[in-house]
């Protein structure tokens, strides 16, 4: 089992284009080797996810409107945001996994449904909100 633990905790040198499948597998193994998977019911994972969304919300709570790219944020603030976003993503992936759902497939399906629900009417229109 020691070799499995090493693989799970090994960090990729470049984390670009990491798949949901790889994250799901790493999370499942991470929890399994620690005996935590027994506590990962849909309800428990959802509650943990909500808690992490709360922590993410706290980062923005008193900042007012924030510009894209976070130009006025310190590297430390950006790192904190990245950590909280990661926590949310990882719990969401685990929740989908224990529910037997393919999150990537569901997301792509939702994008298609939204495209049908909100068709492009005027491509020249540009909203400051989007």
**pLDDT, tens digit, for every residue of 22-53?**
999 999 999 999 999 999 999 999 999 999 99
CA 78 to CA 69: how far, in whole Å?
Answer: 10
Whole-number Å distance between alpha carbons of 56 and 99:
24
Enter the pTM of the model: 0.80
* DSSP state at residue 39: G
Under the banding of pLDDT at 50, 70 and 90, the label for residue 15 is: low
**In angstroms, what CA-CA distances link 43 with 36, 50, 91, 94?**
14, 11, 11, 11
Domain range 20-61+73-117, its CATH number among 3.40.50.720, 3.40.50.2020, 3.40.50.300, 1.10.287.1080: 1.10.287.1080
Q: Angle 69-53-30 (CA atoms, 0-180°, nearest 5)?
A: 100
């Amino acid at each position: 089992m020691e070799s499995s633990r090493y693989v799970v905790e090994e960090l990729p040198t470049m984390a670009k284009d990491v798949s949901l499948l790889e994250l799901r597998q790493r999370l499942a193994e991470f929890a399994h080797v620690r005996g935590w998977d027994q506590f990962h019911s849909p309800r428990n994972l959802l509650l943990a996810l909500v808690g992490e969304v709360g922590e993410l919300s706290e980062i923005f709570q008193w900042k007012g409107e924030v510009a894209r790219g976070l130009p006025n944020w310190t590297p430390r603030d950006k790192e904190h945001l990245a950590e909280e976003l990661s926590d949310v993503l990882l719990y969401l992936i685990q929740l989908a996994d224990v529910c037997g759902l393919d999150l990537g497939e569901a997301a792509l399906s939702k994008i298609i449904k939204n495209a049908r629900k909100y068709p492009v009417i005027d491509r020249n229109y540009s909203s400051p909100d989007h």
